[in-house]
Structure 1
Amino acid sequence: MRKIKYNKGRKVQPTLLDYTGVHKYTQTEIQLFVFDAIDLAEFHEIEVAQLQKHLDFTKNNWLNIHGLNDIDIIKQVGNLLSVDNFMLSDILNTTKRTKVDEYHDVLFFNIKSLLPEEDTNNIKVEQISFLLKKDLLVSFQEKRSDFFTHIRERIRTHSGIVREKKVDYLLFLLLDAVMENFYITLESEEDKVESIINLTKQSTDLQLLEAIEKHRDNYNFLKRAIIPLRDSLYAIKSIKDDNIFNAIENNNYTFFDRLHQKSLELLEQIEYDLTTLDSASNYFFSAQSHKMNQIMKTLTVVSVIFMPLTFIVGVYGMNFDFMPELRWKYGYVSIIIFMLILVIGMIMYFKKKKWF
């Protein structure tokens, strides 16, 4: 089971930022899209000092940052955009749960992206954070990935309405792309669980029980990632009700409601899958119990068959002087025949009773 790690100790300098993720050797790169319904400008691997002249707040600006290990670059971006230090700390701290924060003119949103690892039953985790200001969206990724490739292509080719909408709609598209990874992960888990359930009907190997428990942990991990996402998406509704934060247009809150509904669908599916795993566990233990009962029944039948034979052998093993059968010419053959008849009769009786 994955647990949240807490680093003990208090910082002498509370403004000191640390990246807590695993991608500590990923080079930090900055990508910028400046666009509207007519024009598009795209900049790659630019320096923070160049952002000021490329940002155009008369248009939509999407600033995407890959790699969080270069703290200086993250701080420079924060200073340029007047982002508070606690938000930068939440961006760099990958152990934080999914949440949404509204502070002054900035909406902060972070989310866990989950994908299945190839050839294993493990799940890869990456934290992605967003800062939304008027006409500016900043996304922070721990490493370069292809989550948003199709969105970049839609911007470049002017497909859909992304170029005609504000950056709040772009935030919806990015969140929706990350949530698609939940569906991919859930589908992968369901395929693996289905194969395990089929195996439990053929075998009672203990490794199957270990696999069931592993996938149960994965489902619970998915659940722990989606529940705060559901709450965060619901919290955006309160931002609309406050009628203070204006970086999200009123007619675009509907798109975030759709994401909230998706989170509910995911949780319902996870609950169903957990119930399926419980059924698989119960079936596994029932199969083991049935197998044990069959073994005990077989051993009991064999014991009952040999019990009278053992008695007969014990009687004629006492070696008393006055046992006329010992000196009878056909005594040995008669006893053997009687024992065979007794065994066959008991077997036929047990068969009739369907005891085996």
Structure 2
Amino acid sequence: MRKIKYKKGRKLQPNTLEYTGIHKRTDSEMQLFVYDNESLSEYGKFEISDLEKSIDLNKTNWLNIHGLNDIELLQSISKYFEIDTILLADILNTTRRTKIVEQQDVLFFNIKSLLPVEDSDTISTEQISFWIKDNVLISFQEKRSDFFTHIRERIRTHSGVIRNKKSDYLLYVLLDAVIENFYITIENEENKIEELISLTKKSADPIILERIEKHRDNFNFLKRSIIPLRDSLYDIKSMKEDTVFNVIENVNFSFFSRLHQKSLELLEQIESDMISLESASNFYFSAQSHKMNEIMKTLTIVSATFIPLTFIAGIYGMNFKYMPELEYVNGYYTVIGIMIVITLGMLYYFKKRRWF
């Protein structure tokens, strides 16, 4: 899992433009949707020079960028749309926390998208940033992914109300798609917890405890990622009373309130899952303790059984000359018989008392 080091990330100057993510070999590509209720124009791979004739401020414009390695391309986009250099630096610096920046006519939002890695206990992380102004929304992704595939299909097929809304509603559905990834990740972690709880009942392998601690780290990582998202969504809710900020229409603030509620639900679910994980850990140690107690009980019974036998053997192992029993013809068999009787009697007593 690639951890986000919020406080120990690489220190860059605010205006330094350098991509700090791991997808260094991903080529930068652009995709543009220009739509309203009546029409849709979709542009695949195109050059920055095509923006002038493609953007229509009377419609909703969604420019999606995959890959953040082409700094010159991002600078050109930043210059065309007048994106602040500090915001562009935040887009490229993937060690930053989720944050929101609001101005009178600009809203900037970045978020961490988390998904489980298949056949692994790790979580993959991708930073996605959104910049919105004048009915133009630009999304910046580190790599090509299918987070927004269903949204593109909704736009193409005119499904729902998305074509009737503006860029602020588009921002809502994009954020909602990213938040759905948190649900997928948490559900995957919950399935792994159920598997671990089942394993703790069957085995005392130390690898189980290592996996429990790994998933505990995963939940802490999820929690650290969702808390700033919750705070940012709350900030958007608070903007409704701001008479200066006008990027989001009043009628659409309720949608962002839903996202804030989802973030609270995610945190509550994580807390519940961490309690379950703690229960799995406690059960593991209890099983280990119970197993050790069973071993000690068995050893104690064996030791207690041999105490009187050792005592008898010790007596007849003394080298005194005048020991009457030594002269008996059947003395050996008699002592062995007494030892067997004592042993069986003690085992019967232990069994009757349910000590084993």
TM-score normalised by L of structure 2: 0.97
Tell me which residue corresponds to 2:214: 214
Q: Distance in 1 between matches of 2:173 and 2:15?
A: 32
Kindly state the Cα deviation for residue 28 of structure 1 after the two structures are TM-superposed: 0.2
Shift of 1:111: 0.6
- Once the two structures are superposed, residues 173-231 of structure 1 have per-residue CA deviations (whole angstroms, 9 ceiling, x without a partner) of 10001111111111111111101101111122111111111111111111111111110
Matched, 1:6 2:2: no
For 1:11-55, what per-residue CA distance to the aligned partner results, in whole angstroms no more than 9, with x for missing partners? 5xx633000000011010011111111111111111112112211
* Structure 2 residue aligned with 1:300: 300
Query: Counterpart of 1:235?
Result: 235
User: Where in structure 1 do 4 or more consecutive aligned residues deviate above 6 Å?
Assistant: none
> Which runs of structure 2 are paired with 1:1-356 in the superposition (5 Å)?
2=3, 4=5, 5-8=8-11, 15-356=15-356
CA drift at 1:103: 3.0
Query: Shift of the alpha carbon at 1:3?
Result: 5.2
Report if the CA contact (8 A) 1:83-1:106 is conserved: no
Cα distance change of structure 1 residues 145 and 230 upon mapping to structure 2, 3 Å threshold: same
Is the 1:27–1:69 Cα contact (8 Å) retained in structure 2? yes
Letter in 1 for 2:38: I
Q: Output one character per residue of 1:224-282: Cα deviation in whole Å (capped at 9) or x when no partner.
A: 11111110000002222112121110000000000011111111110000000111111
Q: Distance in 2 between matches of 1:172 and 1:75?
A: 26
Structure 1: tracts of 5 or more residues without a match? none
Shift of 1:7: 2.2
- 1:83 is paired with a residue whose SS is coil
Secondary structure at the aligned position of 2:164 is classed as coil
Deviates more, 1:46-55 or 1:127-136: 46-55
Contact 1:134–1:246 at 8 Å: present in 2 too? no
Q: TM-score, normalised by structure 1?
A: 0.97
Q: How far apart are residue 166 of structure 1 and its match?
A: 0.6
C-alpha distance in 1, partners of 2:188/2:243? 41
Q: For residue 67 of structure 1, report the CA deviation from its aligned partner.
A: 0.3
| Root mean square deviation of aligned Cα | 1.2
**Alignment gaps of 5+ in structure 2:** none
Q: Equivalents in 2 of 1:137, 1:82: separation in Å? A: 13
Identity of aligned residues (%): 63
What amino acid does structure 2 have at the position aligned with 1:230?
R
- Which whole-Å CA distance do the structure 2 matches of 1:104 and 1:48 have between them? 26
Superimposed CA distance per residue, residues 106-130 of structure 1 (whole angstroms, 9 cap, x where no aligned partner): 1000011100001110001000000
Q: Check the 8 A contact 2:104/2:244 in 1, yes or no.
A: no
Q: How far, CA to CA, are the matches of 1:153 and 1:97 in structure 2?
A: 30
CA distance in 2 between counterparts of 1:297 and 1:152 reads 66
In the aligned structure 2, how far is the partner of 1:243 from the partner of 1:309? 94
Q: In the alignment, residue 296 of structure 2 is paired with which amino acid?
A: M
Q: Which moved more, 1:200-209 or 1:228-237?
A: 200-209
Letter of the 1:206 partner, please give it: P
CA distances 1:89-120 after superposition (whole Å, capped 9, x unpaired): 11001111111111342100001110000111
Residue 326 of structure 1 and its aligned partner are, at CA, apart by 1.2
Per-residue deviation, residues 58-90 of structure 1 (Å, max 9, x unmatched): 111001000001111111111111111110011
